[in-house]
Structure 1
């Protein structure tokens, strides 16, 4: 890497399963006629996850391995203040040692943030879905009873998936699983006299749930396609641009359902691949 000269960094601060803050760094650099990329390091953040402490971890690693900041041309992070802050953030600290460095906002993180902005009607459906999942999945007795119901019904899946905002893939998977088991969920909520059982009797609510499941599944596919080795801004731009054109096509094809179906039928609109 030192022989290659200039390089770019991608940084992500996260919390592991033990609750410890970790800083993960990826590096990309030119090696003769090829572009190499790999994990540079993964180090624990000892104190607060501030821009100064993040900089100290990276700077210590650079000094230990005799890497000059002047050769770092670009840094890609999320938009958190600790990363992008121009004074106390990581960017501000790096600018003190390399004024020419360029900062980029991670395209996947930006897309994930944009996908959180949904209409109030769809947001209400998402909130109800999370409440239903929490009622069934977060209580051991309910989870066992629901699993038994699914086994007796012969369904492909026997459990719902919990939703977490920390993992951006969870939303699409959670909604899709809920839709696939919405018949069993309706029966379970009805047996337990839960107030949200009535939403599954509302064909329009079920249609919106199906719509969200399909859209977020497509977003998951997009997010996964933007990752991986040898990804660069040109093919990422093409994929995002193509996806926005698909969204416009789906919007034009969308027709408000006439609600001819009951609460336990399949109202899900089919999205073109």
Structure 2
């Protein structure tokens, strides 16, 4: 519970945030929707945590998933005008053209914030998996032809395995993985190489700041010696206001739904056939503790536990007046039954 409070506290200061979500059934055939959030504050401090686990007992349509996500964002006091992107595994209920989650989210955002738009991504790991499954090795009759096909397959599989390993893990940024995505390639190039990009191709509000940035040799040395997030965090907040806001928005984009898949593995271990009665609330707590990067405030938890224990003890020692009245009524009824029993069993009265 303390970790959840920390996530809610951090979410208040988010300048931008993105979500990654996926759905899978547990041992009791309940659809569990995992919603992960990556948010960034004014100082470019990034928080990546499990926002919530939503349990769907009946249908799992795009509308059901949409309601789950909206309710989760409302409980966390997150506004849709700060949502930068949505990353899914590409299932029809998530990216359906007419009633998929992403479509419904975009319709809601256009209605509430007409000038705001949200990027949506199909998890790159799932795309890589689809490419792998579509590859078929032909078994030719001639030995030489088969050997060539086999050698080609070995090379391709090696590249795919290297790519798959690279895509896995927490804290990966989209600009490191989506370098060949034409729709946003220019934005990722600007983010990762601000000193080499063409100023004229950048957005109008960024051009003046990029000129100032590229003319400063001290900032160029800083760029070469610091991680990218730290470099943007070190820029002057007023002089490079638009550039820093652009960086915040790009840094929160999820590269894949790997973190969801990893959490589903933890879910299957904890809610197995031997622990099938584990409640959804307790399961969510287990997943949150297992995946969180935050450290619980144990001192606060201990104080709360001691207070709860003290309240329970006081409640046992001094029951309320309503409880006392209930006991008196019970005792009076028991006394009446005893008296009736005695009178019925008295031989003098029976004779």
Instruction: Give 1:215 deviation, angstroms.
Output: 5.1
Of 22, 40, 50, 1:12 maps to 22
Normalised to the residue count of structure 1, the TM-score between the two structures is 0.50
Segments of structure 2 that go 5 or more residues without pairing to the other structure are 1-10, 111-116, 182-351
Give 2:109's aligned residue. 98
Number of residues of Structure 1 aligned to a counterpart in Structure 2: 163
Distance 1:228 1:84 in 2: 24
Of 78, 88, 95, 1:77 maps to 88
Give 1:110's aligned residue. 127
Distance 2:98 2:180 in 1: 34
Change (3 A) 1:207 1:104: same
Change (3 A) 1:208 1:45: farther
Instruction: Give 1:107 deviation, angstroms.
Output: 1.2
1:131-185 CA deviation, whole Å, 9 max, x = no partner?
xxxxxxxxxxxxxxxxxxxxxxxxxxxxxxxxxxxxxxxxxxxxxxxxxxxxxxx
1:71-120 CA deviation, whole Å, 9 max, x = no partner?
21211112222111232110121122212222111111111111111236
Name whichever structure is richer in helix by fraction: 2
Distance 1:42 1:214 in 2: 40
Give 1:40's aligned residue. 51
Distance 2:180 2:118 in 1: 27
Distance 2:36 2:94 in 1: 15
SS of equivalent to 1:4: coil
| 1:233 partnered with 2:233 | no
Q: Which has the larger radius of gyration?
A: 2
Q: Greater RCO between the two (CA within 8 Å, min separation 6)? A: 2
Distance 1:232 1:203 in 2: 43
Distance 1:208 1:18 in 2: 45
Normalised to the residue count of structure 2, the TM-score between the two structures is 0.40
1:10-55 CA deviation, whole Å, 9 max, x = no partner?
1111233443321111111113223222222222222222110001
Task: Please tell me the root mean square deviation across aligned C-alpha atoms, in Å.
Answer: 3.2
Change (3 A) 1:205 1:120: closer
- Map 1:1-273 → 2, pairs under 5 A: 1-31=11-41, 32-99=43-110, 100-119=117-136, 121=138, 216=157, 219-237=160-178
